[in-house]
Structure 1
Amino acid sequence: MRQGRRRTGATEERGDFPWWLLVAAALAGWFLWRIASDDVYRQVLATLSRGIWITIFVTLVAFGAACLMGLALAAASLSRWLVLRQVARFWTEIVRGVPILVLLLYVAFVLAPALVAAWNWGTGRLGLEPAQTRDFPLLWRAVMALTIGYSAFLAEVFRAGLMSVPKGQVEAAEALGLTGWQRFRHVVFPQAFRTILPPLGNDFVAMIKDSSLVSVLGVLDVTQLGKVTAAGNFRYFETYNVVALIYLTMTVTLSVLLRRLEVRLRR
């Protein structure tokens, strides 16, 4: 019985052979062959490739900022101060209740003008020239919206990971004379990271897909360029095939790498 359990555990540790990845690779190979042999596909790919860097930039900047904000919210939610806990909970619950698309529009057309107005109010007292709302690029409004939206979800991920560390180890580190930052850096976070990594990776993949929502603001990412291209050549089938292929390539590649990292950390 124990031997069977060990075999099952070993199988789970190794993981099943990724037949799904072979099927996905075969489909990707077929699409690449179509792109190489079809002038329409080649033209569409050449046009959409300019938006890949915008998509990557938006994803990396927004996710990095959301991780920092989410970690700060998680620390506040576990603070001994009641005010910090309530502020963190308020932010998390309110932001998580708003759809990302609605939040994107709200930040772009409500919060951004309000920030510009506040800036002008402050600089007006100093005799400086006022800023214009159009001086706030739509790209950075989109990054701000994604950062705010994902910070609430990542706060819960970090909070759960930090709470998974046994209190005895924290108390032992405190008894050794380690400061709060040293306890967090050397004891708490390294152990919590294993718990945090899987949902953190899932949110990163979700961020890549949700970055397509910035197209509603006219940001020239892959999705927006796909809409413009399809509206110009009326080849919707070919255009959106390439759009889907680009997103699938990014998300599947990242998912495989994250899964490999999880297995290595588990060992």
Structure 2
Amino acid sequence: MAFPKQVRLAEMSPRDGLQNEAGPVIATEIKTGLIERLADCGLTHIESASFVSPKWIPQMGDAADVMAGIKRRSGVRYSALTPNLKGFENALAADVDEVAVFGAASESFSQKNINCSIAESLERFLPVMEAAQKHNIPVRGYVSTVLGCPYEGDIAPEQVARVAKDLADMGCHEISLGDTIGVGTPFQAKRMLEAVTKHVPVERLAAHFHDTYGQALANLYAVLEEGVAVIDASVAGLGGCPYASGASGNVATEDVLYMLSGLDIRTGVDLKKLVATGVWISNQLNRPNGSKVGQALKS
């Protein structure tokens, strides 16, 4: 299959990026400033918050204030992670455009992270799905550990396909396939995608590949060849990999955009503004810029 002519970049940094930042809770004004800058770059899908207990994810404790504080731009989808009905209700009150639920392809990962089986985790989402349908809010589904698990090692592509199908059948309009620990290689990515697309059309799939082993761009290239046209990424590579100490996590949006531009794939995102945003947030957090393109173009 030929490369897609256009790709939608789903920006993860305000949620998946910032929630993994160690140290003091990041100021709400920095979070809203990041989201507004990202929208100004041309990004049209920004995961802005997570409505979870601040006891478990302190960095996301101000989710409602973040959603209330951003100056919203027309044509931008501001989404939030909502793992349960209470989270959904809080997100609804905050006027989010889309909610997301999070499953795993690994039984061990599911048990160790949310203390239940994959089947039980999917059952927990049913009230969220029903409430979202009632309020006409689209739901995005995440499948984690699609190319490897820190506890089980390799994950069978058929297992990923089963979970993706279950989420699609429940009503998730889009399924994001996550290489949570960033261990996958292009061949594995293609095999996994081949299994999933037997049950879920490629038009409903997104790639969420972490860069722990430096394979994210190669893996994204591999699934682009198969028609995937939605990519999750995080400006400045914000967010770490909690299962590999000191390792990078999310692939940097700047690096993905540079590759897509070189492939003549349209995104509608301004690379120059995005690099400036990556530099800005890295300075705000007093951390190194995790984007190679950001570092190269900064000078």
Normalization by structure 1: what TM-score?
Answer: 0.26
Greater strand fraction, Structure 1 or Structure 2: 2
Q: Whose helix proportion is higher, 1 or 2?
A: 1
Q: Which has the larger radius of gyration?
A: 1
* Greater relative contact order structure (CA < 8 Å, 6+ sep): 1
Query: With structure 2 as the length reference, what TM-score do the two structures score?
Result: 0.24
